[in-house]
C-alpha cells in the first residue's frame, strides 16, 4: 500500500493538474475571450488548480465587478460546474448606463473643456472601453467632482468650487451630467519667504527664484520652485537638502513660505568600484577622481554615469551613497557589464544609392580599456565601402574623444568614378552639454576616372589629399534622431592640399542651422538653411571634381534627383560647383502613431565659381511626403515639384531615404 501511494504521488508531481477552463454564456457587449483574460489576470490560481465551487464563485464575483465597471447597473452572474474541469458563468447583463453630454455652467470655454475631460476620465473603466461609449458610474460622480476641484486649483484658481447640480437619464442608456463651476480669481505668486533663514543662500532671493514672482500659482510652478531650491543646494554639496512649502492665499495672491533644511554640506570621499570583470576598474575610477574632495554634486555625478553607460560596455550602473560623520560621502559604483562585442547585418534601398547590403563587427571594450572598435563592409549601387575605427572615450584621461579610422571606398557617380584609401584622426571636446568642438586631420590617396565628364573638368586624376579641419556644433534639439523641438547649428572650416597632377590648395567653409518647433499636439514646423564655399588658391586652379559641391536629392532641393541641380558640362553631365546655399521649410502633421505627412518648400543655388555664391540661378520646389518615425530615424518617401524648371529640366522627382532631410 505504501509503495502504491508513493507511485501515485510521483505521478501527480510528474503530471500536475491542469488549471480550470472558464466559459461565459450570455455576454453580448464584451467579447468572451477579452472578459476571460481580464478576470483570469485576477485569478492566477485558476491557471494552476482544477475547477471548484470556491473558484467558480470568485470568477463570478470578478465578472460581476467587471460589468459594473462598464456601466451595467444590475448584472446577474451565476456559476455552475458542468464537468470536464470547466467553470461556466451565465450572464444576464441587464441595462447599461453610459455617459451622455456634460453641461458646465460658470466657466470659460477652455476651463469647461478641461473639466469635461476630467469627468469623462473619472468614469472610464480601468480596464478597457466598450466602443466609444464611456460608462456612467454613479459611485464615481463624487470622485469626478473632487478631481475637477483639484484640477482648477492646480491651474491657479485656488478658490475654485465645482459642484454637481443634477444627472438626467434619457429613455435609452445615456445619462447627462450638469455641473456648476465657480473658478474665482486666478492667483499669482508673491516673492517667496523662507523659514530657517540661516540656511538660505542670498542668491536664492536675488537671482534663482525671482522669475517666479508674479507667475500664476499653479501646482506646476510651485513644484518647480521647490525642485529648483533643492537642486541649488544639492549642487553645492547639501545632498540631503529638503524643503516644505506652505501656502497662504489672500486677495488673488499666494504667499509661499519654504521651510528649508540644507545642512550638512558634504564633500566627495572615497570612490569604490565593484562588478568590473573585463573592464579595467581604474578606468572607471579615473572618471570620478576629479570629484574627490569637491562638494558633492549629484547632477554632475549622474551625468558622468550616463557617459559611462554610453560607452556600451555596461548594462547597468548602480550608485550607493554612504554619508560619514565627518561630512564626507563615500560612493560605491556597482557595475553590470554587458556583452561588449557582436556582429550586425543590414540592408536597404535608397533612391540614389540603390540597393544597400552591409555587415559589421563591434567591440565596446577593446583590450579592457573601454575603447570602441567598429568595422563595416558595405556594397551599394554606388560601389564598395570598407572602414575600421577605434575610439578612445577619454583621451589622456580628459573629457576628450579621440577617433582613429581607416577607409577604402569606390564610388561610381554620374560623370566620374572615384577610388579612395585614407586615414583620419578626429579629436572631439564637449565644451558644454550643447556645444561641441572638433578637430580633424585626414590623409587619402584618390584616383578619379571619367564616367562621361570631359577630362578637363575632372581635375587631377591621381593625387594625395591632406585636410586639416575644425568644426563647432551647437545642438539643443530634443532628440538628434527624431527631433521635435530645438535648435541646431554647425560651422565647419577646412584647409586642404592636393599633391600630384597639378597640386591645389583650398580653403573650405560651411555653415548649417535648423529649428524645430512643435506648434500643436500633432503638428510641427522645421526651418533650415545651409551654405558652403570652397576657394582654390588661384584663379585658374582646377579643383578635383570630388572636392566640389553637388546639389539635388532628398536633402536639398527635392524637385531634382541627387547631384543634378547646378552647372553641367557641355554633354549635360553634372560638374559640381564651388559655392552653394539651400533653404528649407517643412510642416509636419501626425497622421496615426509614427506615421506623418509633410508639406515642404525648398530653394537653393549651386554656382561653378566660389565668388558667385549669391548670384547663381535659384531653383524652387514644393512637395508632399509620407514619413514613418523609427528608432533609426524617419523613413521618408517624398515628391518634390519644380516651380521654375527650365526647358531641359525635370518637373519633379521622387525620393526615398532614411534620416532627417536637414
200-205: list long-range contacts, CB under 8 Å, 24+ apart.
Answer: 200/260, 201/232, 201/233, 201/236, 203/232, 204/229, 204/232
**The CATH number of the domain covering residues in 394-658:** 2.40.160.50
Give residue 45's pLDDT.
Answer: 58
Domain with residues 98-182, CATH architecture:
Roll (3.10)
pLDDT single digits (tens) 471-491: 999 999 998 889 989 999 999
pLDDT single digits (tens) 534-574: 999 875 678 999 999 999 999 999 999 999 999 988 788 99
Give residue 128's pLDDT.
Answer: 46
Secondary structure (3-state) at 171: coil
**Spatial contact of 601 and 583, defined as CB atoms under 8 Å apart:** no
Give residue 14's pLDDT.
Answer: 36
Q: Kindly state which CATH superfamily the domain 267-337 is placed in.
A: membrane protein fhac (3.10.20.310)
Give residue 419's pLDDT.
Answer: 97
Report residue 460: phi and psi, to 5°: -60, 135
Span(s) in the chain for CATH 3.10.20.310: 17-92, 98-182, 188-261, 267-337
Residue matched to cell numbers 561610381? 412
**Fold for domain 188-261?**
Ubiquitin-like (UB roll) (3.10.20)
Spatial CA neighbour of 657 closest among 571, 555, 533, 539: 555
Task: Give pLDDT < 50 ranges for the chain.
Answer: 1-17, 127-130
**Fold for domain 17-92?**
Ubiquitin-like (UB roll) (3.10.20)
Give residue 430's pLDDT.
Answer: 94
Residue matched to cell numbers 500643436? 520
Give residue 206's pLDDT.
Answer: 60
Residue matched to cell numbers 478658490? 159
Residue matched to cell numbers 444576464? 92
**Spatial contact of 606 and 578, defined as CB atoms under 8 Å apart:** no
Tell me the whole-structure pTM to 2 decimals.
0.70
DSSP notation for 189-232: EPPPEEESGGG--HHIIIIISGGGTTSB--HHHHHHHHHHHHHH
User: Considering Cα of 348, then 350, then 356, then 361, what sign does the dihedral take?
Assistant: negative
DSSP 651: S
Give residue 540's pLDDT.
Answer: 62
Secondary structure (3-state) at 397: helix
**Spatial contact of 375 and 388, defined as CB atoms under 8 Å apart:** yes
Amino acid at each position: 500500500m505504501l509503495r502504491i501511494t508513493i507511485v501515485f504521488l510521483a505521478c501527480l508531481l510528474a503530471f500536475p493538474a491542469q488549471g480550470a477552463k472558464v466559459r461565459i454564456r450570455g455576454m453580448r457587449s464584451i467579447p468572451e475571450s477579452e472578459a476571460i483574460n481580464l478576470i483570469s489576470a485576477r485569478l492566477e490560481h485558476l491557471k494552476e488548480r482544477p475547477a471548484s465551487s470556491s473558484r467558480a464563485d470568485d470568477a463570478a464575483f470578478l465578472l460581476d465587478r467587471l460589468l459594473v465597471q462598464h456601466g451595467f447597473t444590475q448584472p446577474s452572474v451565476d456559476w455552475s460546474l458542468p464537468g470536464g474541469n470547466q467553470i461556466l458563468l451565465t450572464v444576464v447583463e441587464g441595462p447599461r448606463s453610459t455617459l451622455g453630454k456634460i453641461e458646465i455652467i460658470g466657466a470659460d470655454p477652455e476651463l469647461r473643456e478641461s473639466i469635461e475631460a476630467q469627468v469623462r476620465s473619472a468614469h472610464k473603466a480601468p480596464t478597457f472601453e466598450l466602443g466609444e461609449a464611456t460608462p456612467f458610474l454613479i459611485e464615481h460622480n463624487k470622485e469626478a467632482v473632487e478631481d475637477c476641484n483639484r484640477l482648477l486649483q492646480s491651474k491657479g484658481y485656488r478658490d475654485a468650487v465645482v459642484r454637481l447640480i443634477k444627472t438626467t437619464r434619457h429613455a435609452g442608456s445615456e445619462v447627462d451630467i450638469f455641473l456648476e463651476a465657480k473658478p474665482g480669481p486666478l492667483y499669482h505668486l508673491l516673492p517667496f519667504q523662507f523659514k530657517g533663514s540661516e540656511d538660505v543662500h542670498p542668491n536664492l532671493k536675488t537671482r534663482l527664484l525671482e522669475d517666479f514672482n508674479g507667475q500664476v500659482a499653479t501646482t506646476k510652478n510651485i513644484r518647480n520652485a521647490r525642485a529648483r531650491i533643492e537642486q541649488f543646494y544639492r549642487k553645492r554639496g547639501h545632498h540631503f537638502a529638503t524643503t516644505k512649502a506652505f501656502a497662504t492665499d489672500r486677495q488673488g495672491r499666494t504667499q509661499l513660505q519654504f521651510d528649508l533644511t540644507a545642512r550638512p554640506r558634504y564633500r566627495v570621499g572615497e570612490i569604490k568600484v565593484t562588478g568590473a570583470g573585463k573592464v579595467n576598474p581604474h578606468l572607471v575610477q579615473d572618471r570620478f577622481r576629479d570629484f574627490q574632495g569637491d562638494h558633492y554634486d549629484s547632477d554632475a555625478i549622474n551625468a558622468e554615469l550616463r557617459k559611462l553607460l554610453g560607452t556600451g560596455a555596461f548594462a547597468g550602473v548602480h550608485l550607493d551613497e554612504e554619508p560619514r560623520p565627518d561630512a564626507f560621502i563615500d560612493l560605491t559604483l556597482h557595475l553590470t557589464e554587458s556583452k561588449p562585442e557582436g556582429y550586425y547585418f543590414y540592408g536597404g534601398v535608397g533612391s540614389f544609392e540603390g540597393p544597400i547590403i552591409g555587415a559589421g563587427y563591434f567591440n565596446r571594450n577593446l583590450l579592457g580599456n573601454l575603447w570602441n572598435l567598429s568595422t563595416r563592409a558595405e556594397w551599394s549601387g554606388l560601389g564598395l565601402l570598407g572602414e575600421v575605427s577605434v575610439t578612445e572615450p577619454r583621451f589622456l584621461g580628459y573629457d576628450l574623444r579621440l577617433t582613429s579610422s581607416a577607409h577604402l571606398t569606390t564610388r561610381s557617380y554620374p560623370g566620374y568614378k572615384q577610388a579612395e584609401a585614407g586615414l583620419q584622426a578626429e579629436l572631439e571636446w564637449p565644451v558644454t552639454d550643447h556645444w561641441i568642438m572638433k578637430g580633424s586631420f585626414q590623409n587619402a590617396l584618390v584616383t578619379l576616372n571619367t564616367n562621361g565628364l570631359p577630362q578637363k573638368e575632372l581635375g587631377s586624376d591621381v593625387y594625395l589629399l591632406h585636410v586639416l579641419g575644425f568644426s563647432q556644433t551647437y545642438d539643443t534639439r530634443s532628440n538628434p534622431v527624431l527631433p521635435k523641438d530645438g535648435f541646431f547649428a554647425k560651422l565647419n572650416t577646412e584647409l586642404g592640399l592636393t599633391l600630384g597632377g597639378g597640386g591645389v590648395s583650398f580653403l573650405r567653409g560651411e555653415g548649417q542651422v535648423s529649428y524645430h518647433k512643435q506648434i500643436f499636439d500633432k503638428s510641427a514646423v522645421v526651418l533650415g538653411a545651409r551654405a558652403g564655399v570652397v576657394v582654390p588658391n588661384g584663379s585658374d586652379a582646377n579643383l578635383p571634381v570630388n572636392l566640389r559641391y553637388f546639389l539635388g536629392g532628398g536633402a536639398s532641393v527635392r524637385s531634382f534627383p541627387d547631384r543634378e541641380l547646378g552647372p553641367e558640362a557641355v554633354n549635360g553631365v553634372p560638374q559640381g560647383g564651388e559655392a552653394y546655399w539651400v533653404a528649407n521649410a517643412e510642416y509636419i502633421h501626425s497622421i496615426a502613431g509614427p506615421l506623418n505627412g509633410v508639406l515642404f518648400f525648398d530653394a537653393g543655388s549651386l554656382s561653378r565659381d566660389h565668388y558667385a555664391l549669391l548670384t547663381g540661378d535659384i531653383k524652387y520646389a514644393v512637395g508632399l511626403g509620407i514619413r514613418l518615425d523609427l528608432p533609426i530615424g524617419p523613413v521618408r518617401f517624398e515628391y518634390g515639384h519644380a516651380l521654375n524648371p527650365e526647358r531641359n529640366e525635370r518637373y519633379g522627382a521622387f525620393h526615398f531615404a532614411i534620416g532627417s532631410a536637414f
